[in-house]
Amino acid sequence: MVNKSKTGLFALGFFIFASLFIIIAFVCPYWLVTDGKLENPKFIKIGLWEVCFNGFEEVHHWYDTIFTGCWWIFEEEYYIIHDILLPGFFIATQFFFTISLCCVLVSMLLSFIYIRKERDDDNYVTLLVSLGTVLVIGGFSGLISVVTFGARGDGRDWMPNWEHNDLGWAFALGVIGVVFLFPSGILFLVEARVQKYKRLHEMQSRDPSSYTMHERKMGYSGGHTDI
């Protein structure tokens, strides 16, 4: 790792934990689970993309279909219970958490570039600002997702036997991962600001004739320019 500050290293550490937790939460079907106190529960567990039933019947009784086992949530057979399985709040949860995951994946690429890039690179500050901004956006999107699911996921108007359903460990990891995105993004933005002012200080102590074309375009030869 090329000459990184403590702020950058802390930001990177928070990001590693956040990305790990968010990816696990994204793929694991343990956002809502039965508490195990009910004999033969019709609902077992659900994640963003998989649901497990045990003899669940279509509540309108329009079809004689019984769902048992774990299936992809968009499986064709589930079309008759889409109004139950995919209410608006759950679609919003999927949507915003997917945006959060996309921000994490983009940040992985930016973090790899950050690790390899020298501080004196012309695009170093821009990279830090981009990385911090993407992480904060991912954090806000993920926050909307987990708050929405936390408020409605174990409600009485969704999965059967609601009084025996609890928020699962994958949801908890999602919450922790989303929370970790904020300090990571903020620290990258703080580091960008620090590096910006360091460059401004260095530019002010140099002969103006030695400025590069890039530095002149960035306005280093003038006054302070905030991020």
What pLDDT is recorded for position 223? 45
* pTM metric for this prediction: 0.83
Of the chain, the percentage scoring pLDDT greater than 90 comes to 49
In the predicted structure, residue 226 carries a pLDDT above the cut 50: no
Q: Mean pLDDT throughout 147-167?
A: 89
Rg (C-alpha) for the chain, rounded Å, is 24
* Number of CB atoms found within 10 A of residue 71's CB: 15
What pLDDT is recorded for position 30? 95
Is residue 217 very low, low, confident or very high in pLDDT (cuts 50, 70, 90)? low
- 60-88 pLDDT, tens digit per residue, is 667 777 888 898 998 888 888 888 889 99
**Residue 61, Ramachandran bin (φ over 0: left; ψ between -120 and 50: alpha; else beta):** left
Q: What is the mean pLDDT of the chain?
A: 85
In the predicted structure, residue 211 carries a pLDDT above the cut 80: no
All structural domains of the chain with their residue ranges: 6-206
Segments of 25-109 assigned E as strands: 32-34, 43-46, 50-57, 66-72
Integer Cα distance of 145 and 141 in angstroms: 6
Scored b (16 or more CB within 10 A) or e, 178-199 reads bbbbbbbbbbbbbbbbebbeeb
- 19-39 pLDDT, tens digit per residue, is 999 999 999 999 999 988 878
In the predicted structure, residue 181 carries a pLDDT above the cut 60: yes
Helix 6-27 to helix 88-116 angle (10° resolution) is 140
So what's the architecture of 6-206 in CATH? Up-down Bundle (1.20)
DSSP state of 43: E
Residue 135 corresponds to which tokens in the numbers above? 């992480």
Integer Cα distance of 74 and 77 in angstroms: 8
Helix 124-152 to helix 6-27 angle (10° resolution) is 40
Integer Cα distance of 108 and 102 in angstroms: 10
Q: How many residues does the chain have?
A: 227
Of the chain, the percentage scoring pLDDT greater than 70 comes to 83
